[in-house]
């Protein structure tokens, strides 16, 4: 069975980024993201796609947009969240992928919170607002502790060593 999961990094105040850019560089988290998502379909919104600047290799990229003429070279385009999920699940089953990953942005994470089975959240010891005064800030969805529990076997208890801009740790949440 394919698991539907969201994966994101957030700062100490729950900030994901600016909406069009990441506000930090943490190479160890990039490596964690790559290891987690490689070989699996990933779903993202148009702004996240544009912020990436192109398809992430080694995984099927699916971009959600309402624009009928939007093209995403190296990716598949879906015109609704439902279409993207159906497409990703078919691809995952055909390729034997263990996950379908929701990779952003904030609106897509919010729209899928009731649908996903897992949340894989990298917490960064970093304050984006302080580091980038005046930048627009996009917040991660709130994680309701009555719905989600931390999986201690797949979560870091302590901070990992600083990588680039911040120390980091991964928290994996599963539905209670």
CA angle 54, 114, 17 (to 5 degrees): 40
What pLDDT score does 136 carry?
95
pLDDT at site 20:
85
pTM score of the predicted model = 0.96
Residue ranges in the chain assigned as alpha helix (H): 27-37, 46-52, 81-95, 106-112, 128-131
pLDDT higher than threshold 90 for residue 167: yes
Tens-digit pLDDT profile for residues 68-98 = 999 999 999 999 999 999 999 999 999 999 9
Write down the architecture of domain 3-175 according to CATH: 3-Layer(aba) Sandwich (3.40)
Average pLDDT, integer, range 48-57: 94
User: Is 24:120 a contact under the CB 8 Å cutoff?
Assistant: no
For 102-142, the pLDDT digits (tens) are 999 999 999 999 999 999 999 999 999 999 999 999 999 99
Mean pLDDT throughout 57-63?
Answer: 99
Which pLDDT belongs to residue 67?
Answer: 95
């Amino acid at each position: 069975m394919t698991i539907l999961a969201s994966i994101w990094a957030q700062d100490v105040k729950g900030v994901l980024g600016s909406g069009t850019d990441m506000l930090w560089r943490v190479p160890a988290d990039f490596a964690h993201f790559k290891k987690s998502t490689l070989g699996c379909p990933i779903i993202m919104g148009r702004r996240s796609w544009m912020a990436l600047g192109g398809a992430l290799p080694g995984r099927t990229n699916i971009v959600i947009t309402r624009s009928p003429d939007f093209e995403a070279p190296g990716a598949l385009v879906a015109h609704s969240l439902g279409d993207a999920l159906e497409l990703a699940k078919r691809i995952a089953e055909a390729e034997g992928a263990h996950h379908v990953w929701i990779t952003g942005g904030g609106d897509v994470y919010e729209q899928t919170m009731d649908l996903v089975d897992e949340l894989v959240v990298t917490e960064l010891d970093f304050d984006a607002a302080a580091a980038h005064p005046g930048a627009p800030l996009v917040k991660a969805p709130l994680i309701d502790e009555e719905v989600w529990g931390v999986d201690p076997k797949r979560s870091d208890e302590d901070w990992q060593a600083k990588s680039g801009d911040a120390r980091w740790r991964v928290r994996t949440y599963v539905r209670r």
